[in-house]
Structure 1
Amino acid sequence: MIERLFEQALGETLLHKKAVEKMLAGLKVLPLPADNGNTLSWDDVLIYPTLRNLTMVKGLVIPAHVSHYIQAIAALTGTHTYYDRAI
């Protein structure tokens, strides 16, 4: 998807992390499931997997409101994040 060899992409980690952190910082406050009677919306179904996968990036700065959202959806769905296995 980024049209680079793995080795090249790995060498550009800081560049990619900065781009993702900028995108995350621009996310508006996400409605929590508790605001919807603890039910998932289609937005949750579409955005949560991507945000959850980003928890495997060691040292990625995830804004507090996004982290709170990830934790709330993880609890509701019984899934785990990757913070403890981040590389």
Structure 2
Amino acid sequence: MYCTYILYSQSKDRYYIGHSADLDDRLKRHNGGRSKSTKYGIPWKIVYTKEFATKLEAYRHEMHIKRQKSRDFILKLIESTKKL
């Protein structure tokens, strides 16, 4: 199982979008400073996840979110999962 995820850094008020097969390990790497793009926003917390059967589907969803280039889009996406 693969997932697309969105992380939030309160210290930087920033979102990070990615995909992974092992979300727990990936979050540890982000919060351990082992990822160049997220090491300055520690601590990161997971605010959105969506599971997919294949890596390609998870990657495509990640790219779809990133192509929106919109914080409002991200906030609406996160909010829509809270209602479930």
TM-score, normalised with respect to structure 2: 0.24
Task: Choose between structure 1 and 2: higher helix proportion.
Answer: 1
TM-score, normalised with respect to structure 1: 0.24
Task: Choose between structure 1 and 2: higher strand proportion.
Answer: 2
* Greater C-alpha Rg: 1
